[in-house]
Amino acid sequence: MTKRPAGWASASVADVAEAVRGLTYKKEQARSEAGEGLAPLLRATNVQDGRLLLEDHLYFIPEALVRDEQWLQPGDIVLASSSGSALVVGKSAAILRPWRGTFGAFCTVLRPSKHVDPRFLAYFVASPAVRSRWSALAAGTNINNLKSAHIADTEVPLPPLNEQRRVVAAIEEQFSRLDAADTSLSSAQGRLALLRGQAVELAFIGDWSWTTLGEIAEIAGGVTKDAKREGDPSFVEVPYLRVANVQRGFLDLAEVSMIRVSPEKAKALALQPGDVLFNEGGDRDKLGRGWVWSGEVEGCIHQNHVFRARLHDEFEPKFVSWHGNMFGRGWFQANGRQTTNLASLNLNTLKRFPVPAPPLEEQRRIVTEVEQQLSLIDAMHRSIEAAKRRSAALRRSILERAFRGELVPQDPTDEPASALLERVAAQRAQALAAVRAAVRPCRGHDEQRKRGHPLHGAALHARRGCALPRRAHVDVRHVGEGIRSPPARASRGAR
């Protein structure tokens, strides 16, 4: 075990917090809009690293479904404990202000003891070591699930309460400076994006004649997926580009899909270096966007939602593509077919797209000039990205130092954490004793115990259906673990 600083103790999450599982509801019980008698519900989607989305992506479910302990309280730490992605599992954020709402079954809430600073525990569960451990432990066929035992057994390096507060203050002071630096870096990135657009736009100012894309290029659509025909033994498997691969000004080839087509179609649709690609549509921002194919993947073809324009010799591919991404953005939106959420181009519309026609040498001069300016902008962008990575590394280092006891000095006058844990244990024992004392005797109870019934106390009464006082709020899953009684219903409005 790692040596702890003086006054610190080693605890588990279960020692210092109660874990509350989210509620389960039927699909038809959820609403997308607020209404009377409905409670806002957080899902794993609402849990970001260090913050909660309390205004967006909410579901609303009947308040009657919410148990007392499932109403969120200030100081609660909401944890994404189940997700289709292992990277999402373990994301967490504290709710530090009153907010009347609850959380779904893919989330777990850690409710710290009053003897632990909730912000300290929130920073601990967000630390890289804990996130990495929980992501590794999450397992499932389709859903990655972090088991309650994995959460409960996680070791917490616990300083005295006063030191917890000093640690939180130090973390937040240093994080605030990093936040300001990150904001400046993001603003700089935004300005670079504007400069990139201006560098291209200004280069295209000239008194030139104009033509259309259909006059200067052979334009063709791509292959349509046909699962039934792909089983033909005469077909060949080739890579093909999708809309997601064709971005504005670059190609994203991290994931290139494969498709089976006839040898004739594979030959006819094979992309050649210099082909200019245009997206047929989808979301409005995808309409007409594209870039130049440079032969990155041998034998690659394109799907029917991606057009390719094979230019005549007197036109420079990058010149045409930059024009399409800048001037063309507005033109395609104005001339494409629009529906409620989607937009699309057809072949005839793309053929009518206006293209400036300066001499080929002028086009090449413009391309060289723009590439020089963009290379400088790209270098600045890389420097900003490197600075943001250093900022993220500093955050990780700050948290690591905090939980090794290296961020703030220890104060020998602080009450040691061992005394704090003793009070937490005493509080739980007292709560459990109060619950057991509140149970009214029932007929047959003694007889069941004499027969060697394996349950005792509150758990036996729950199994036998015995009446309990309304204010006991007993959840038999916590009997034997220690109970932190949730607040009475009358106090909900104060949350």
Per-residue pLDDT of the chain (495 residues; tens, 9 = 90+): 467 899 999 999 999 999 999 999 999 999 999 999 999 999 999 998 889 999 888 999 999 999 999 999 999 999 999 988 878 889 999 998 999 999 999 999 999 998 899 999 999 999 999 998 998 888 766 788 899 999 999 999 999 999 999 999 999 999 999 999 999 999 999 999 999 989 999 999 999 999 999 999 999 999 998 877 888 889 999 999 999 999 999 999 999 999 999 999 999 999 999 999 999 987 777 889 999 999 999 999 999 999 999 999 999 999 999 999 999 999 998 998 887 667 889 999 999 999 999 999 999 999 999 999 999 999 999 999 999 999 999 999 999 999 999 999 999 999 999 999 998 888 888 888 887 887 655 555 555 555 555 444 444 444 444 544 443 444 433 433 333 444 444 333 333
Question: What amino acid is encoded at 388 in this protein?
Answer: K
Q: Is 465 exposed, middle or buried (0-12, 13-18, 19+ CB in 10 A)?
A: exposed
Residue 336: domain span: 210-357
Is 153 in the same domain as 165?
Answer: no
Q: Is residue 135 part of a domain?
A: yes
Determine contact, residues 235/261, Cβ cutoff 8 Å.
yes
- Both tokens of 282, joined, read 């989808």
Crossing angle of the two packed helices 360-402 and 161-203, in degrees rounded to 10: 180
Rounded to an integer, what distance in angstroms lies between the CA atom of residue 264 and that of residue 275? Answer: 19
Determine contact, residues 355/323, Cβ cutoff 8 Å.
yes
Is 93 in the same domain as 167?
Answer: no
**Those residues with Cβ within 8 angstroms of residue 93's Cβ, 6 or more apart along the chain or in another chain:** 47, 48, 49, 50, 51, 52, 77, 78, 122, 126
Q: Is residue 113 part of a domain?
A: yes
Domain count, the chain: 3
Rounded to the nearest angstrom, the gap between the alpha carbon of residue 484 and the centroid of all alpha carbons in its chain is 31
CA atoms within 13 A on the CB side of 139: 4
Question: What amino acid is encoded at 218 in this protein?
Answer: E
Determine contact, residues 277/307, Cβ cutoff 8 Å.
yes
**Those residues with Cβ within 8 angstroms of residue 188's Cβ, 6 or more apart along the chain or in another chain:** 380, 384
- Both tokens of 463, joined, read 């199994």
Is 258 in the same domain as 380?
Answer: no
Is 138 in the same domain as 44?
Answer: yes
Say whether pTM exceeds 0.85: no
Determine contact, residues 196/413, Cβ cutoff 8 Å.
no
Is 133 in the same domain as 32?
Answer: yes
Q: Is residue 4 part of a domain?
A: no
Is 222 in the same domain as 234?
Answer: yes
Rounded to an integer, what distance in angstroms lies between the CA atom of residue 3 and that of residue 9? Answer: 10
Residue the block writes with tokens 């063309």: 328
- Both tokens of 273, joined, read 């270096």
Rounded to an integer, what distance in angstroms lies between the CA atom of residue 257 and that of residue 243? Answer: 11
Rounded to an integer, what distance in angstroms lies between the CA atom of residue 171 and that of residue 336? Answer: 52
Is 341 in the same domain as 438?
Answer: no
Domain boundary among 394, 414, 434: 414
Rounded to an integer, what distance in angstroms lies between the CA atom of residue 227 and that of residue 67? Answer: 48
Q: What pLDDT sits at residue 69?
A: 95
Phi, then psi, of 105 in degrees rounded to 5: -70, -15
Is 165 in the same domain as 68?
Answer: no
Write the CATH number for 34: 3.90.220.20
Q: Is residue 1 part of a domain?
A: no
Q: Is residue 396 part of a domain?
A: yes
Q: What pLDDT sits at residue 239?
A: 97
Q: Is residue 170 part of a domain?
A: yes
Determine contact, residues 202/374, Cβ cutoff 8 Å.
no
In 297-414, where does DSSP find H-type helix? 317-335, 347-351, 360-402
**Those residues with Cβ within 8 angstroms of residue 491's Cβ, 6 or more apart along the chain or in another chain:** none
Is 195 in the same domain as 91?
Answer: no
Rounded to an integer, what distance in angstroms lies between the CA atom of residue 414 and that of residue 159? Answer: 9
Is 16 in the same domain as 80?
Answer: yes
Burial 184-214 (b: 16+ CB within 10 A, else e): ebeeeeeebeebbeebbeebbeeeeeeeebb
Q: Is 23 exposed, middle or buried (0-12, 13-18, 19+ CB in 10 A)?
A: middle
Q: Is residue 2 part of a domain?
A: no
Rounded to the nearest angstrom, the gap between the alpha carbon of residue 389 and the centroid of all alpha carbons in its chain is 18
Q: What pLDDT sits at residue 455?
A: 46
Is 278 in the same domain as 219?
Answer: yes
If one counts every other C-beta atom within 10 angstroms of the C-beta of residue 226, the result is 12
Among positive and negative, which fits the CA dihedral 394, 399, 400, 406? positive
